[in-house]
C-alpha cells in the first residue's frame, strides 16, 4: 500500500478531520445513517473514502470497500476501519473493483472530476439491480452562493472543476441509468452570510434546520436551502 499522498491531499489537508463531535464528525455520522435508511446490508463501495469514518460506521453490517486518491488517507483509513478493503485509486479507476455493489457512495467527490458522467456510468455498471447511489456535492444554487462569490466554500477549492446546479446532477445521474429516489439539502452552514453579526450567532440562526437534520438523521431540508445537494438514486 502506497503512503505517498496525492498532491494537496496529504497530512495537512486532513488536519482536524479526526476530532470528535465537530462538523466533519456529525456529517459522517449522518451519511452512514442515511445509507442505512435505504440499505441494511450488502456490498458497499465508498469513492473518496478519506480517513474511513463513514466506512467504520458501516463495516459491521456491510462488506465495505473504499478507494481514495490519497495514500496518506488510505493509510489512516486502514487503522480507522480495519475490516474494510481499501485501495489507493482515482474515481475513474473504480470500475476495476469487483462488483456488483449494493451501495456506492461518493461524498464531495464528483465536483473534483473532469468528466463525472463517465464515472457515474461506471458506477451504474457496478451497481446491483435495486442497489443505490448516494452522492453529496456543492449546490451552486445555494441561497448565498452568488452573494459570497469567491468566498463561497465551494469556490475556495481550486480542484473543484465540476461545480453544477442540482438539475444538471440529476440529469447526469438519470443519464447514467439510475432512478432518482430522493434529493435534499444539508442546510446553511457556510457562515458568515451578513456583516456585523457574529458567525456563531449566524450559524445558530441560519443553520438550525441543518443541525436538527444532521442530529436526527431525518432528511427534510429542500435542496434550495442547502449548501450542498444530497442525492439518493436506485439502479
Domain, as residue range, for 33: 23-234
Number of domains present in the structure of the chain: 1
Residue 10 lies in a domain: no
Q: Is residue 6 situated within a structural domain?
A: no
Residue 7 placed within a domain: no
Helices (H), 115-217: 116-126, 145-148, 166-176, 199-216
Question: Which set of grid coordinates corresponds to residue 37?
Answer: 435508511
Return the axis-axis angle of helices 23-38 and 199-216, rounded to nearest 10°: 30
| pLDDT tens-digit readout, 116-137 | 999 999 999 999 999 999 999 9
- 146-172 pLDDT tens trace: 999 999 999 999 999 999 999 999 999
Inside any domain, residue 5: no
Q: Does the residue 9 lie in any domain?
A: no
Provide the pLDDT for residue 2: 35
Residue 2 domain-assigned (yes or no)? no
- Residue 22's pLDDT is 78
CATH number at residue 183: 3.40.50.150
% of the chain with per-residue pLDDT over 70: 91
| Region 15-21 average pLDDT | 57
Does position 173 have pLDDT exceeding 80, yes or no? yes
SS3 210: helix
Query: Which of 52, 87, 85 lies closest to 71 in space, CA to CA?
Result: 87
Q: What pTM was computed for the model?
A: 0.92
pLDDT, one tens digit per residue, over 31-83 is: 999 999 999 999 999 999 999 999 999 999 999 999 999 999 999 999 999 99
* DSSP SS3 for 170: helix
234, with CB counted inside 10 A (0-12, 13-18, 19+), is middle
DSSP-H helix ranges across 88-198: 116-126, 145-148, 166-176
Amino acid at each position: 500500500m502506497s503512503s505517498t499522498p496525492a498532491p494537496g491531499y496529504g497530512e495537512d489537508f486532513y488536519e482536524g478531520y479526526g476530532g470528535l463531535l465537530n462538523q466533519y464528525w456529525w456529517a459522517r455520522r449522518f451519511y452512514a445513517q442515511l445509507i442505512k435508511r435505504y440499505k441494511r446490508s450488502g456490498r458497499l463501495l465508498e469513492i473518496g473514502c478519506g480517513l474511513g469514518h463513514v466506512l467504520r460506521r458501516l463495516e459491521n453490517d456491510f462488506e465495505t470497500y473504499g478507494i481514495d486518491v490519497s495514500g496518506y488517507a488510505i493509510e489512516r483509513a486502514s487503522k480507522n476501519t480495519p475490516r474494510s478493503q481499501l485501495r489507493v485509486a482515482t474515481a475513474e479507476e473504480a470500475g476495476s473493483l469487483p462488483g456488483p455493489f449494493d451501495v456506492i457512495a461518493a461524498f464531495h467527490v464528483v465536483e473534483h472530476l473532469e468528466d463525472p458522467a463517465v464515472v457515474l456510468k461506471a458506477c451504474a455498471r457496478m451497481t446491483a439491480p435495486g442497489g443505490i447511489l448516494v452522492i453529496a456535492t456543492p449546490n451552486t444554487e445555494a441561497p448565498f452562493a452568488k452573494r459570497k462569490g469567491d468566498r463561497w466554500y465551494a469556490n475556495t477549492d481550486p480542484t473543484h472543476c465540476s461545480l453544477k446546479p442540482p438539475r444538471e446532477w440529476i440529469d447526469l445521474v438519470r443519464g447514467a441509468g439510475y432512478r432518482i429516489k430522493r434529493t435534499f439539502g444539508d442546510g446553511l452552514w457556510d457562515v458568515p452570510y451578513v456583516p456585523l453579526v457574529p458567525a456563531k450567532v449566524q450559524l445558530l440562526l441560519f443553520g438550525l434546520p441543518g443541525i436538527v437534520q444532521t442530529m436526527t438523521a431525518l432528511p427534510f431540508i429542500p435542496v434550495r436551502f442547502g449548501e450542498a445537494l444530497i442525492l439518493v438514486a436506485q439502479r
